[in-house]
Structure 1
């Protein structure tokens, strides 16, 4: 293994070799110029020697640069990316010592550091795992208790965004629109009606009963608004009997109390990555031409505060209105019989539009999947004006353009496991993309790209990757 001294010696020898090669090139050029000239035209010989020297030195420069790029620059970039992945995504990187053999003791030293970090992480994970198991059990028990209460519960932040809803509330909210953590409560209930009731809580009253119209004026709900004494925000209690509740439907308890700290709305470009809500999706189709082919499945999950929201997922088969080619079925495993009773593409796309409301849309190779959505958006009047992030480009920002940026390659680098039975299903790939996104976000922040605008500015530098893919 090379020591620091040997590394310095190798660098000295490299520069000495460059100098020696340059001298040889110049001497050879002068000799060639001398042989070419004669007594009456010495100037032409020197001119020829100068041109030959310039080309020779340029060749040496290019050769040295290629060697340096391949054996120094690229390995350093890979080591840096691996260390950021370990530090900020908690993924033990695989360091290629052979590739970094010209970097002296740097790679072995980094491997020793990551090994020690892994040992410390394992020790911490053992204790944290026990606490997590206990908390998950308590959460599941709480969710079961709430399902026994004949009233649906929604907790709302001071900014009127949903920060908790139980299984019963999910069914009620779903009668208006897809239930979503961090969504505005005004997506479900009339803004004017709710604000009038909320104004009464701002006084001395701690509770108020009110009849509120649904956001789409199709239903009326009997609500009780209750001021929270020990926390910011307020609680909405909904009488399930008046809202066509389906008590047999088991849904998890969904919450994120960090949402109570959200301040006023800001332009998307200035919002920190950790404050953004993402709708991560994937499609399976009859083929690879959006203008001719059609969707057969849409899968999506939501990411809030850098975490996948368990219980908020979309897994929808779609009837393309045409036979599914055998070659496509071989990829995603969807047959004509499976989609016979599924909704048509326009209906499924509209449902995802609701699911992605007020979120940044994320996909791996987004232009392909978005082309299908935009096609139906033009036909049905849906505006796909959501901000969009592409994990292909995020991968290029973090790991460099020289790496492979397929979903499989990205997941391998980030330690994301895609179960074989879910690979090439819309929901499986959406989960994998969301998991990769959650691990990329802290790495991007560590590189100084803290806001959505910062990240978009960096991804624009790699737009050529998507053109090559499509």
Structure 2
């Protein structure tokens, strides 16, 4: 059971037990001495001695615990976090061993191991570079192949979630919702007609034609569903007749074939790799969510531990009031810039559509989410998505006693925020996303492989910040 507690808490409990044991031994010894003396008039003297000894013992244990916590437990916790960051998050900065001077050879051994990790990482990086070059060549050939197919193409997993789409398909999908990897097709197409066609495809194993309405019911698409051979899932081809497609348009590809193997399980049992995340940030007129307003929202999607560069959301928001000069000095957004921008109701609805099927991630999430919750009724949306906070994730990985600001996390994990983008919604959202992507393998190395396990750990640090789930 004690293994569930942090190292610092276990050491604290050890000293508490030591103090209680010392009090029990001291009290027992004094009681035995008083009993054998058989002089009732010595009761006050023995009682005074017991109290003095007890408080002295407690003070001594507390002082030694504080020294031990500061010079042993905290340095071990920091050193372990740094080693984990190097091993699993690709951090290359030198280990900070200044606080580990009382740990004997542990710091030197950690530095030696870090050097070995760097050498291994360099070899792995070279292999990855070669494989990346190969994958880019494959992607180029795939894009060239799709160019010969004058229709929009979407690859879909067996649970009807998007695995691949090209540029033309993105234009079609965007008529109903932002195109997104791992998004359910129900956001774009009427599932009744689609599932009927999919049933025919599964029974025949051959290409099937179907006319399917868009999710909004406004469009009617002529589709062809093609099987993937022995692989799970299928391909949807949009005929150009009703989709307004042009064969010569660019065909950039967005895909992750590993999504074909993704199982749909209960959220708590879902692996972190199997989830989609939307990382976002806001800029506001001030720091009071109950009365200030949002002036900018920036967000991007993370699927299978990587940022999807083409799937972003960014908008200015007209707060309906003057933006204080002090706030403009921080984020650079003035009254002139937000003229003609949507109000919070429209911006929140658009952002909700972008984030509808994902876990929301933010740094200090209660602050940003408070603005959205305050305007939820006006926007006509419910912000009931699960939320992860990188402040709490930092506490899980690096210990509650560490600094958990975004700048501190970026410094700790070798993430650079260009000065021009700091305190812009998209700049801070990207920095948070890069930090989050480096945290994911560290969480898995911690044994936290499912969303439920991560959530349970973050709730233990609820004293730092409000839990949004």
TM-score for both structures, normalised by structure 1 = 0.86
Cross-structure match for 1:381: 380
Could you say if the C-alpha distance between residues 251 and 430 of structure 1 is closer, same or farther in structure 2, counting changes exceeding 3 Å?
farther
Deviations 1:151-178 (A, max 9, x none): 1000011111110000110010000111
Report what 1:136 is aligned to.
136
1:212 aligns with 2:212: yes
Which segment is superposed worse, 433-442 or 130-139? 130-139
1:201-237 CA distances to partner (integer Å, 9 max, x unpaired)? 1233522222111011111111111122253211111
Using a 3 Å threshold, how does the CA distance of structure 1 residues 145 and 206 change in structure 2: closer, same or farther?
Answer: closer
Give secondary structure in 1 for the equivalent of 2:298: strand
> Could you tell me which residue of structure 1 aligns to residue 3 of structure 2?
none
User: Which residue does the alignment assign to 2:180?
Assistant: 180
**Conserved? CA contact 1:92–1:114, under 8 Å:** no
Q: Is the 8 A contact 1:279 1:362 kept in 2?
A: yes
Go from structure 1 to structure 2 and tell me whether the alpha carbon gap of 1:250 and 1:417 turns closer, same or farther (over 3 Å shift). farther
Out of 77-86 and 224-233, give the one that drifted further.
224-233
SS at match of 1:232: coil
C-alpha distance in structure 2 between counterparts of 1:40 and 1:448, whole Å: 60
From the superposition, tell whether residues 247 and 316 of structure 1 become closer, same or farther in structure 2 (CA, over 3 Å).
farther
1:235 alignment partner in structure 2: 235
Distance 1:439 1:251, change over 3 A: farther
Mapped to 2, the partners of 1:85 and 1:462 lie a distance apart of: 20
CA distance in 1, matches of 2:248, 2:340: 24
Q: What is aligned with 2:442? A: 443
The equivalent residue for 2:306 is 307
* Contact 1:284–1:295 (8 Å) recurs in 2: yes
User: Quick check: 1:147–1:167 contact (8 Å CA) kept in 2?
Assistant: no
Change (3 A) 1:93 1:80: farther
Q: CA deviation at 1:144?
A: 6.4
Name the structure 2 match of 1:337. 336
Given the superposition, is the C-alpha separation of residues 292 and 230 from structure 1 closer, same or farther in structure 2, using an over 3 Å criterion?
Answer: same
- Provide, for residues 400-446 of structure 1, a one-character-per-residue CA deviation record: whole Å limited to 9, x for no partner: 11001011111211122212222111111111111111111221222
Shift of 1:138: 5.0
Which position in structure 1 is the counterpart of 2:451? 452
Instruction: Give the aligned partner of residue 13 of structure 2.
Output: none
Give the 5 Å matches for 1:331-410.
Answer: 331-410=330-409
1:59-74 equivalence runs, <5 A? 59-74=59-74
Identify if the C-alpha distance between structure 1 residues 418 and 143 changes in structure 2 by more than 3 Å, giving closer, same or farther. farther
Q: TM-score, normalised by structure 2?
A: 0.87
Q: Which structure 2 residues correspond to residues 41-60 of structure 1 after superposition, within 5 A? A: 41-60=41-60
CA distance in 1, matches of 2:230, 2:83: 42
Deviation at 1:94, TM superposition (A): 3.8
Q: Which moved more, 1:454-463 or 1:172-181?
A: 454-463
Name the CA distance, whole Å, in 2 between partners of 1:136 and 1:336. 44
Q: Displacement of 1:145 after TM fit?
A: 6.3
Distance 1:441 1:398 in 2: 10
Distance verdict in 2 for CA 1:309–1:336, change over 3 Å: same
Q: Is the deviation greater in 92-101 or in 400-409?
A: 92-101
Shift of 1:385: 0.9
In structure 2, how many angstroms separate the alpha carbons of the residues matched to 1:112 and 1:429?
35
State the 1:121 CA deviation: 1.1
Change (3 A) 1:419 1:130: farther
| Number of residue equivalences | 433
| Matches of 1:202 and 1:56, distance apart in 2 | 78
Counterpart Cα distance in 2 of 1:372 and 1:247: 44
User: Equivalent residue of 2:366, what SS?
Assistant: helix
Distance 1:430 1:247, change over 3 A: farther
Q: Could you give the per-residue CA deviations for residues 326-366 of structure 1, whole angstroms, max 9, x where no partner exists?
A: 11111111122222122221111111111111211111111
Distance in 1 separating the partners of 2:417 and 2:277: 20
Unaligned runs of 5+ in 2: 1-17, 31-38
My pick for the range that moved more, 241-250 or 308-317, is 241-250
Q: For 1:47-196, list aligned pairs within 5 A.
A: 47-92=47-92, 94-136=94-136, 138-139=138-139, 142-143=142-143, 146=146, 149-196=149-196
2:260 corresponds in structure 1 to 260
Structure 1: how far apart are the matches of 2:40 and 2:142?
103
Q: Tell me how far 1:126 sits from its aligned partner.
A: 2.8
Structure 2 CA distance, aligned partners of 1:165 and 1:339?
33
Q: Shift in Å at residue 140 of structure 1? A: 5.1
**C-alpha contact 1:165 1:255 (8 A) present in aligned 2:** yes
Structure 1 residue 278 and structure 2 residue 277: aligned? yes
Would you say the 8 A contact 1:82–1:94 is kept in 2?
no
